[in-house]
Structure 1
Amino acid sequence: MFSKLTGKQKQIVDCKKSRIVVKACPGSGKTYSVSARLADLISTKSFKHTGIAVISFTNAAGNEIRKSLLENYNLQSLGYPHFLGTIDSFINKHIFLPFGHLIMGCKSRPEVVGTEFNQWYEYDASMRNRFSQKITDPNYYFDKVSFDKNDVLLRLLPYNSYYFGKAKWDNMYKANNEYKKEINDLLECKEKHFKEGKANQADANYISLKLLKKYPFILKGLSKKYSHLIIDEAQDTTDIQMEIIDLLDGYNLENIIFIGDPDQAIFEWNTADAELFLKKYNDGKYFNIELDENRRSSTKICSVLNKMVGSATVSIADVKEDMNQPEVKGYDSKDSVQEIKNNFLKKCNELGIEYKKKCNSF
């Protein structure tokens, strides 16, 4: 199956540099290239007790890699000593859950709350602002705030999600340099529940960073466990996640590769920062590879993309030429969004595009 790789995709598989950054455009076969490099490593190197950690940012992306490994390279699974999963699951499994109590002061193994599977409900819903009717119990906001790497309280949602506004978030201190009451209440809430072993995922990442800095033995153990790191969808890292990766890299990893596209960042609403990936790409210590061949879209669509983001994507799709002229649609209301959606679905029907393929429009 390696024979099906394009020249640039094969460069990712064959590259012997120890520090690599791959910038990949949409439709360039990024997942196919990641799985190819992974399959090549497994087939050419001896892994007994030290393995490869393949980290992505969504379960869907990880499942795509698993599917590609099975369909293209007949690899049934990626078991011991390797890891394939989200960056959150990697951090939780290896750092936060086994060692979080050392920072949090809780008496037992901590847990991650505020997730789909472990909802957060420890608050008094009757405590409300008499004007806005928003809940004022600070416990309600436990899973909606965390800390940045400088220990400053961090909101995880838009300003209007909280019972107090932008002004207090932007200036947390009173004239005497003490915290304003609303901020102090949140800080006390976080401290209380940390001691009870509760944390949201952003907290788990924050605490894990503190753990790695304070207890080098954790880093040493991880560096022995994984000699290779593959960071997929690297444009979606937060600064805390990137610093955790950098700390791991500082322990003499044999190889690390970042793969992503800053123009496809989707988690900026959740404190991710695509600039962190670009800094890696522009850092002279990393070897750069660029996948700029789009296998999905016509030349016209690639041309629109290039004008919008300043890229140089080239179409190598089966149907490079398309009579349909791409359109860029703006929106200013729910009604206009619905109109765009309806027009899109109508066009798909006219072109005979199957329902399950309609979301893969680019």
Structure 2
Amino acid sequence: MPTAIDSHEEGRLRPAVPASGRGTVLTTRSVAPSESLDYWHDVVLDTLVGMDITTEGRTYDAAMRTDRLGNLQITTVECDPGQVHRTPRAIAHGDGRQVFVAVQGAGRAQVEQDGRTTELRTGDIGFFETVRPFRTVYPERFRMKIFAVPRALLQLPDTGLRQLTGRSIRPTGGLPALLAPTLDRLADTSASYAAPTADRLAESVIDLMAATAADQLGADPAELPGADGVLLLRIRTYIRWHLSDPGLTPAVIADAHGISVRCLHRLFEAEDSTVCRWIREQRLRECRQELAARPPGSVTLGQVARRWGFTGPAGLAKAFRNSFGLSPTDWRDRVWAGGASC
């Protein structure tokens, strides 16, 4: 039976069988001991991001449980001592579009990123930026609960994220004292929530993460997400989930959130944008990423266009040329020839 990572006894971690209905559980005990470390490399790459993993022994005892809650991927890992390194080579493979917000469940983690080092102890929170290298040393068997969050939903500039990494956020008071136990408990219970409760819960947790991050960066209390900021965050999340729907209009979005179209427009005007412009930008971003990831000839322009809410290739081509000055086909050819950035 697969082992999971839920319990400890007399201060020592031990594997436990997952409760019925839990998410995906993977363990090195499902393969031969001699294959355990190679297997774990593949598990981490498929579930989180590519990382080099080293350990003193030739075998490795590790387990992972992964669940989804709205926009959050929640992964609980329990492993033997060792070291993980998110290298530039791994980053170049193109994964890592999310920020990891982790809470140390047991053991210690010595973290290095962006020129800073810190130690996460039980209950501490850490932010990991996956588009830049980091290294974490685990001197003893440990448990860590990792929340993968779409970067845009945290509403943090790159400079802000750089200030948060390589730091331990201790839950001794204020927002961290609320966030840490919330994440710890949510990682253990996420599979028990059904939609739409799960979606609303995920939105609230992401809002709390964003507020905690802003607080750590010394933001003025007036700049922390207020009612309008939280509502706008939820609306943007809704839009991202429904980009493929060509019928995604301001009226549909406003109705889904119980507000007037006028109120919806006012929220985006405060951000110096419009609803329709923001939708178009998100659709174009997804189309660019797909065109960059797929070799020429592997997918038609019409397939990409309809997958992201354009009515057809002509609509995508017009929007693409207006925004970037060349056709989607020409842009993809330049990317694959190494002459443009995605």
Q: Which has the higher strand share?
A: 2
Q: TM-score w.r.t. structure 1 length?
A: 0.23
TM-score w.r.t. structure 2 length? 0.24
Larger Rg: 1
